[in-house]
Amino acid sequence: MWVLLRSGYPLRILLPLRGLWMGWRGLPRSLAVGPPRRRYRKEALAALEVPVLPVTATEIRQYLRAHGIPFQDGHSCVRAPSPFVGASKLKDETGAATSFSLFIDKTTGRFLCMTSLAEGSWEDFQASVEGRGDGAREGVLLSEAPEAEDSEEVQRIWDRAVPLWELPEPKEAQLARVMFGLTKVTDDTLKRFSVRYLRPAHSLVFPWFSPGGLGLRGLKLLGAEGQGDRVHYMETTIPQAGAFHNLFGLPLISRRDVEVVLTSRELDSLALSQSTGLPTLALPRGTACLPPVLLPYLEQFRRIVLWLGDDLRSWEAAKLFARKLNPKRCSLVRPGDQQPSPLEALNQGLNLSRILRTALPAWHKSIVSFRQLREEVLGELSNVEQAAGVRWSRFPDLNRLLKGHRKGELTVFTGPTGSGKTTFISEYALDLCTQGVNTLWGSFEISNVRLARVMLTQFAVGRLEEQLDKYDEWADRFEDLPLYFMTFHGQQSIRTVIDTMQHAVYVYDICHVVIDNLQFMMGHEQLSTDRIAAQDYIIGAFRKFATDSSCHVTLVIHPRKEDDDKELQTASIFGSAKASQEADNVLILQDRRLVTGPGKRYLQVSKNRFDGDVGVFPLEFNKSSLTFSIPPKSKARLKKIKDDNGLVAKKPSSGKKGAVPQISETHSDQAPNPNKPDLSKPSR
Ligand SMILES: Nc1ncnc2c1ncn2[C@@H]1O[C@H](COP(=O)(O)OP(=O)(O)OP(=O)(O)O)[C@@H](O)[C@H]1O
């Protein structure tokens, strides 16, 4: 695993999936046989380093002053003269080395030299200033990041693609325009942005040029497929999306531009540029993330308008990205009927400049009036489904109770020792991750390799040991998930963990952090009062992080020791009442295997701050796929619970049409009343 960096610092505490497979492949002997493996790609890991000691903007400034390096304080970066300019053959457009071309990220300390394109960590920079090795000189050059085979592939596709207006069949060009909604986008616009069309793949081809337009570094292919009256778009990027980032439209930006509109799709940038004439750039991975490596390219702008799309998710992403860009210079276009995505607005004949003028400032003081909030409240009311969050695809009963997974919430999850908490929470988080929820795992008890193995088995819904020939196929798909792991194991200080989480939110736009489990942050205090106070403090810290970072935290907590035959309750969570008070949701994995047979579990939602619906539903464990999701033919029953005293309604979870909720009582083959211990059967 990549533990030592080029400057010799043991830095990695966050690990992307790419880093795990190698560990896995090296591990169990049973997995060592099988088809030949492909060569491992080192470059893919280059941008994923995290300093153990986070650096602050103040420290960066102090360091530069102490070493007599002049600097300018920017929006999200500090600018300084680059010590790497001489090392590069590359020069900027004018052929001259640029002064102050080194951009140091104020949050992470990572730097990028815009002239030589050298990049590296804060430690690399310090090493180079202090003459301790040549740090970034040997480092990865952003422009050279794509592997040679990728570059060839990029060039091959680019050479085969043609401008739309050069297609031999006018009908084909017309069809492509209709499919991609480009009927109002002119040839001139397509030409300025160098958009081409790849006939064999029926795809538009968007180029990513390096700054200064010096070379073609990557491509995004956009295919379109008609589905009823909607068009479904499919994106492919070369090099692989997670390994390379660039902004579409960069060569059209002039150094004198002080304002830019950021979009989440290349097509939107075409529409915006054509109808407003304003500089515009499209983010490489849409609303999924804004990688900090792109921030230096946006430093020159005094005003950035984010117009990312027409749904609540785009709005959430815009707010998140504005934090990174410095909210004081950002304005956001709110999604709404009269404010669809830019391309849609162009096609509807709306005035895009007027829509841009309605953009709201992203910066709020700490006290706001309802006037500032009313638009947001309206947005939530008119998008009730989206406001309820991302819905699970494998756990429909969880959707019925919790309605969805929302940003900024704290979920506390408990269950008896060895009952399958980790296994369940792994599938619960994986489900969300496959739907684009950027996820960070803190697994302190079991190793990341074991956890990833459980997750991959759940992802493939079957034992991979028996189908090793499919391993690469599944691993490739799994690798594309926005999933990261902290590399902590065993006891950790809460400060280090929160720092890492903050860093991950900044770098990878993490929206969900899973901590398994809280006991690993409690130190070794012997006195039980100390332990309870320590736990309260830790829960407070996670609560604050969730709210401040607009990130969902799922926290696994062990229960107190209870009698085996008793159901757990909210009060069974170890410690004081703080955990359940601070949590937005409390989930309990009820282990009744001794009573109801092997594999059976119940998931109880015992607190739900969003809309108060609580209840319990059965889970059936499948030992080969390690999944808990309910098989389609299951007779499982969801029970909603009205209050502490009784059940009100049950519904078939299999979703039979016309099912009427009924008053129910507990039967031994159904979910137990979680608030009344079922003592009718002996426990062993
Ligand atoms: N419903 C189940 N029936 C049988 N085995 C299960 C069930 N759920 C999980 N397991 C298996 O039990 C083992 C322990 O599961 P897991 O680590 O998820 O439990 P846990 O509650 O997180 O444990 P701990 O209390 O030690 O944190 C795993 O091997 C898992 O595959």
How far from 185 is each of 7, 195, 310, 342, 462, CA to CA, in Å? 49, 11, 20, 12, 47
pLDDT of residue 429: 96
Q: What is the ipTM of this complex?
A: 0.94
Options 3.40.1360.10, 3.40.630.30, 3.40.640.10, 3.40.50.150; CATH of 247-387: 3.40.1360.10
Average pLDDT over residues 195-211: 90
Nearest CA to ligand 1 atom 8: 420
pLDDT, greater one: 601 or 134: 601
pLDDT digits (tens, 9 = 90+) for 514-551: 999 888 888 755 555 677 888 888 999 999 999 999 99
Nearest CA to ligand 1 atom 6: 420
Give the dihedral sign, CA 52/54/60/63: negative
CB under 6 Å to ligand 1: residues? 415, 417-423, 445, 598-599, 601, 621, 626
- Inform me whether the pLDDT recorded for 587 exceeds 70: yes
Average pLDDT over residues 94-103: 65
Give dist(CA 509, CA 609) in Å, integer. Answer: 25
pLDDT of residue 637: 63
State which ligand 1 atom lies nearest to the alpha carbon of 628. Answer: 1
pLDDT of residue 147: 58
Best mutation site among 423, 594, 620 for ligand 1 pocket (most ligand atoms within 8 Å of CB): 423
- Inform me whether the pLDDT recorded for 584 exceeds 70: yes
pLDDT digits (tens, 9 = 90+) for 166-179: 888 888 889 889 88
Q: In what order do the strands lie in the sheet with 203-209?
A: 196-198, 203-209, 216-227, 230-238
pLDDT of residue 282: 96
- Inform me whether the pLDDT recorded for 93 exceeds 90: no
State which ligand 1 atom lies nearest to the alpha carbon of 626. Answer: 31
pLDDT of residue 593: 55
State which ligand 1 atom lies nearest to the alpha carbon of 426. Answer: 18
Label the pairing between strands 439-443 and 483-486: parallel
Confidence of residue 283 (pLDDT cuts 50, 70, 90): very high
| CATH architecture of residue range(s) 407-631 | 3-Layer(aba) Sandwich (3.40)
Count the helix, strand and coil residues of the chain and give each as a percent rounded to the nearest 5: 35, 20, 40
Give dist(CA 606, CA 614) in Å, integer. Answer: 5
pLDDT digits (tens, 9 = 90+) for 306-350: 999 888 888 889 988 998 999 889 999 987 767 889 999 999 999
Q: Which of 176-190, 365-379, 402-416, 497-511 has the lowest mean pLDDT?
A: 365-379
CATH 3.40.1360.10 domain locations along the chain: 247-387
pLDDT of residue 44: 29
Average pLDDT over residues 292-296: 90
E strand or H helix at 601, and its extent?
strand 600-608
- Enter the tokens of residue 301: 């702008």
CATH 3.40.50.300 domain locations along the chain: 407-631
Confidence of residue 206 (pLDDT cuts 50, 70, 90): very high
pLDDT of residue 301: 95
Confidence of residue 434 (pLDDT cuts 50, 70, 90): very high
Average pLDDT over residues 426-449: 93
Q: Which of 106-120, 188-202, 404-418 has the lowest mean pLDDT?
A: 106-120
Confidence of residue 355 (pLDDT cuts 50, 70, 90): very high
Please name the amino acid found at residue 45. Answer: L
State which ligand 1 atom lies nearest to the alpha carbon of 446. Answer: 17
Between the CA of 423 and the centroid of ligand 1 the distance, in Å, is: 6
State which ligand 1 atom lies nearest to the alpha carbon of 445. Answer: 27
Please name the amino acid found at residue 436. Answer: G
Is 403:610 a contact under the CB 8 Å cutoff? yes
Is 43:518 a contact under the CB 8 Å cutoff? no
DSSP state of 526: -
pLDDT of residue 148: 61
pLDDT exceeding 70 applies to what percent of the chain?
72
Nearest CA to ligand 1 atom 12: 420
- Enter the tokens of residue 570: 């909210």
- Enter the tokens of residue 277: 């004439």
Give dist(CA 304, CA 336) in Å, integer. Answer: 20
pLDDT digits (tens, 9 = 90+) for 659-681: 323 223 233 333 333 333 232 33
